[in-house]
Each structure stands twice: as C-alpha cells, then as structure tokens.
Structure 1
C-alpha cells in the first residue's frame, strides 16, 4: 500500500461490531467519495502513527467501514476493538491505487484481505467477477452470505484447517493450481499477506497470465 500520510480528520464511530471472534467492522459517516479498493489510515490520536485499512463498504453507502482483526502484539487494533459507538477516531480521506473496475476479473483474497472486494461488490462491480477467498478457520469467511448472494457460483471458499461441504480443502494456491480456465485478457486482483500474494502472482505467471494484468495489495 501507499504509505504517504494524508491528513487525519476527527470522526465519530457510528458502527462497532464484532463479526467473528477478534474480528471487527467499524465505521463512521462517509465524508468523501472514493473508488472501491481504496484504503484509509486510522489512528486513535494524532501522536501515534496511524495504520492502513482497506475500505469494506460500498462507495454509495452512508457509512465508510473497515475490517480488522486484533493483533495481540499490535498497538492499534486492541485499542480500536475496545472502542464503542460515539467514540472518536482519526481517519484520512480515502486514497490508494488498488482500484476495482467493471472489467472481467478474478478477485483473490485471504483473511481480512476480502475487505476491498466486498467494497467492489457493494459498489456494483460484481458482474464477470470470480472470487476466491482463503482462510484457516471456517469462521473467518467474513461477509460470506452477502458474497454468495452477489456472486453465486463464482464465489469459491478455501479452508486449510477445517472441512465443510461446499468449501474447498486447502490453501488458495492449491485451488488455483488445479484450475485451467484462466483468461490472459482478464485482470487478477490479489489481496492478503505478502507470502500468499507472491506465491499467487508467481503461480498465475506460470499459467501464462501477463504480469501487467496482476494487481496486488499486500497486508502487513
């Protein structure tokens, strides 16, 4: 992600919801237009460095929302999790270059990397999209009902540690390795941890996808 620091503005939380153990959606009134896939920087004050979070709400929603999981060794996420509706946070205007389009594309995510793709879907970009979401535990398929309703058979879930009917066993890369229906003309968006993003990019290149058709957003 782009690490240049935009101006931080004081906002009041209008949403604070734990959607899975240790995983939260928080939101505040949307003040700016944004392109689906962009991010904001969030902080609890202006003294400590903010952190970057992809927007998970649609670009016409009244609230601007982000998704995060608590990092036990982190400074910010435990403090964000302890807030409540009406509390103050500091947020930048939306920014970034990981931008969804109306063009046919694969969306490939792990964990909370699903956030920008949910924003794209809620913004009307679900046509001609294939989504692959990989997680370790079944309770980590965030927004799964909404994604299934919007994408139907083009929504694929992969779980590496648990099993359930309708969910592909194993990692995202194992699922993709078995596929032979990749179009070289489509875009391929990857969002998640660095190792997954690099492995997925290399796999797609080996399958003949041009490098310039692969767009990556790495979560740290």
Structure 2
C-alpha cells in the first residue's frame, strides 16, 4: 500500500482467482486483468463500497492474464485481514491502474524493503530487468519474496540484505549498510520503494554521495 496523491478512480467488481500465502502473514491475491497497465502502476482496492479503498502496487507483468497484488496482513487494519481470508470466487472492488512510479528500459538500481518489492517484480515480469540491479532488504530470510525466480534470472544483480538473520549469499544488515559499504555508485537512476524511513535514509545517502536528486525516484509504503 502506497502513499500518493489522491486520485478519483471508480471501482469495479473483480472476481478473485487465487489467494496464496507465500510467507507468514504475506499473501498474493489474483484476479483477471481487464485493462492494460504500465509496470510500476497501482490500483485502489476495497472489499466493499462502504469503506475507503487502499492503494496497492501491481505485482505482475503487464502481459500476463491476471493482475496480482502482494500484501501483508495488518492485524489492526480493516482491509488486509479480510483480503487474506478471501477465496477464489469472492469479490474485490478494484480501480483502473494508474500512477507515475514507472519502470523504463534505462539502466537503474531498484531498491526495496519488504513488500516494496512489488512494483519491481512487476517491472521484472514485464521484461525490463536488463541493466538493472535489484537490492531487497528484509528482517527475516523468509521475506525474500520471489527470490528463487529472481536469483535464477538476475544472478549477481539481485542483492539480498537481511538485518536479523544470516545466510550464505545474503548481506548481513540493512539496505543502508550495504550501500554504505560500496566504494562507488554508478551513474544511473535509483528507484526506491518501501517504508518511509528507508526511502528517506537512502535518498539522503545517495544525494550526499553525489547522485543527482532528479535521478532518485521514490515510492513510500506505509
């Protein structure tokens, strides 16, 4: 779920085709794709018409038959516990895709924490991962969503950072720790997606190290 400028978008009924728990408390919910979208865009989602919808990044390729949404359950929330309990055939209310956090074919670094990997996975599945480095930071090893596919496809350009557990081929620390250890940064665009603290810290670090502010594109999840 992402913080963006509000935009009025009518919601239409979508029939759930699948709901998979891919990690404890983390789900991918699917429904048929009825419109085109650009990788990185979002949709508004509600479970009824009486409560305000929330915004989620699309987590699937733009040529796939279904749209998938990655989300984690907020125990004190209204929407996500209900979404997590849904089964195929249930109804969601979904807007048309929109948004400006868009992937391109240019060389770039994609930097995410937690479920902030969703738009980057959509970009990857849409075929624009060439010349990209994906850095994903999480607390626990079981939170590297889609890691087998990404590791197989992106190889050394897929970097995992874990702050509370250790494993081979995983950097032991936060995304900011990993970046601070690098002696130089390439002259590319930097896409940041995740919690506000990470986005602000990484943005400030990049600027301090000479990255042009115009080359930093940020998306904050809350």
Shorter chain as denominator, the TM-score bin is over 0.9
Does residue 169 of structure 2 align to residue 166 of structure 1?
yes
Q: Which moved more, 1:126-135 or 1:142-151?
A: 142-151
Structure 1 portions without partners, runs of 5+: none
After TM superposition, the runs of 4+ consecutive aligned structure 1 residues lying more than 4 A away are none
Q: 1:124 aligns with which of 119, 123, 127?
A: 127
Instruction: Say if 1:121 and 1:150, in contact at 8 Å, map to a contact too.
Output: no
Indicate the residue corresponding to 2:75 in structure 1: 72
State the secondary structure of the residue aligned to 2:116. helix
- How far apart, in 1, do the equivalents of 2:91 and 2:51 lie? 15
Indicate the residue corresponding to 1:154 in structure 2: 157
Q: Which moved more, 1:3-12 or 1:71-80?
A: 3-12
- How far apart, in 1, do the equivalents of 2:12 and 2:184 lie? 45
Does residue 204 of structure 2 align to residue 207 of structure 1?
no
Does residue 112 of structure 2 align to residue 103 of structure 1?
no
- How far apart, in 2, do the equivalents of 1:15 and 1:182 lie? 40
Instruction: Give the TM-score normalised by structure 1.
Output: 0.98
Indicate the residue corresponding to 1:219 in structure 2: 221
Instruction: Say if 1:2 and 1:96, in contact at 8 Å, map to a contact too.
Output: no
Indicate the residue corresponding to 1:188 in structure 2: 190
State the secondary structure of the residue aligned to 1:212. helix
Structure 2 portions without partners, runs of 5+: none
Deviation of 1:4 (Å): 1.4
Deviations 1:184-212 (A, max 9, x none): 3x110000000110000001111110000
Q: What is the CA RMSD across the aligned residues, in angstroms?
A: 0.7
What number of residue pairs does the alignment pair up? 219
State the secondary structure of the residue aligned to 1:117. helix
Q: How does 1:1-40 map to 2 (within 5 A)?
A: 1-40=4-43
Instruction: Say if 1:42 and 1:90, in contact at 8 Å, map to a contact too.
Output: yes
Instruction: Give the TM-score normalised by structure 2.
Output: 0.97
Deviations 1:92-146 (A, max 9, x none): 0100000000000000000000000000000000100001000000000001011
State the secondary structure of the residue aligned to 1:181. coil
Instruction: Say if 1:36 and 1:123, in contact at 8 Å, map to a contact too.
Output: yes
Deviations 1:62-114 (A, max 9, x none): 00011000001111000000100110000001000000000000000000000
Q: 2:64 aligns with which of 61, 71, 92?
A: 61
Deviations 1:168-198 (A, max 9, x none): 00100000111133123x1100000001100
Q: How does 1:133-152 map to 2 (within 5 A)?
A: 133-152=136-155
- How far apart, in 2, do the equivalents of 1:139 and 1:12 lie? 29
